[in-house]
Amino acid sequence: MTLAEIFYSLQGEGMLAGMPSVFVRTSGCNLRCAWCDTPYASWHPEGESITVESVVEKVKNFPARHVVLTGGEPMVAKDLPALASELAKCGYHITIETAGTIPPDGIRCDLASISPKLSNSTPAPGTISESWIQRHESTRLQVPVLQEWITKYPYQLKFVVSGADDLAEIRELLDALDPAMDRSNVLLMPEGTDVETLRSRQQWLVQVCLENGFRYCDRLHISLFGNTKGT
């Protein structure tokens, strides 16, 4: 597989925020989100080819029992199921960060951290080729695939929210997935890669969570380390 980076840090988002974890970031993505904060693993994928065995050995160098498989979109890496299986054999808790556009197909996973892409993710004309814009828009939401993930694994649905208009899309998707879904599994996260932007969107989003029973999702790593690699 092509690996963009591997590092040891605290989880910055979701139910396990603050948990010391090894992050294994694969390179490659089937989407092109406008606000992507890891372009080196998606828009302009880079990295080195490495075997599953070598990745596992690198993971063992860190004092953690939690591993986050992320990207890009880690599910496009053909060796990811083998990696997840080997990590599970070693007793690691495995979180997979995915957009939920690719079926899990039985992959080992203790927490599916699913980030369905709203229309705010679609690149603006002129920022990338029209073919990529069309591909992104036609691929970003796969309801049957999302349903497979949430029925087969412990999960969190993590939405990147840019503005109030996003809320109608979120509610519509949740109704399509499961109208009776436990709203505490739904996390709303302000879009932004700096503390000032996140704070500007924080208060109204907190109020939305209070009114709807959603969980507020901070971006702890931004406030601790900034928007940098290896964090």
Q: Is the pLDDT of residue 223 over 80?
A: no
The pLDDT mean for the chain works out to 94
Tell me the pLDDT tens digit for each residue of 80-133: 999 999 999 999 999 999 999 999 999 999 999 999 999 999 999 999 999 999
User: 36 with 59: CB under 8 angstroms?
Assistant: no
- H helices of the chain, in order, are 52-59, 80-89, 130-139, 143-152, 166-177, 195-200, 202-212, 220-225
Short-list 100, 96, 101, CA closest to 113: 96
- Which string of b and e fits 30-55 if b means at least 16 CB within 10 Å? bbbbbebebebbbbebebeebebeeb
Whether the per-residue pLDDT at 226 is higher than 90: the answer is no
Closest CA to 147 of 179, 119, 125: 179
Cα–Cα distance for residue pair 14/12, rounded to 1 Å: 7
Q: How confident is the model at residue 147 (pLDDT cuts 50, 70, 90)?
A: very high
At how many degrees (to 10) do helices 166-177 and 143-152 cross? 60
Could you read off the pLDDT of 33-80 as tens digits, one per residue? 999 999 999 999 999 999 999 999 999 999 999 999 999 999 999 999
What digits encode the pLDDT tens for the residues 101-115?
999 999 999 999 999
Quick one: how far is CA 216 from the chain centroid? 15
Q: What are phi and psi of 163, to 5 degrees?
A: -165, 175
- Dist CA 220 CA 6 (whole Å): 19
Do 136 and 120 meet the contact criterion of CB atoms below 8 Å apart?
Answer: no
Rounded CA Rg of the chain? 17
**pTM here?**
0.95
Cβ-based neighbour number of residue 11 at 10 Å: 19
Residue 211 makes CB contacts below 8 A (sequence gap 6+) with: none
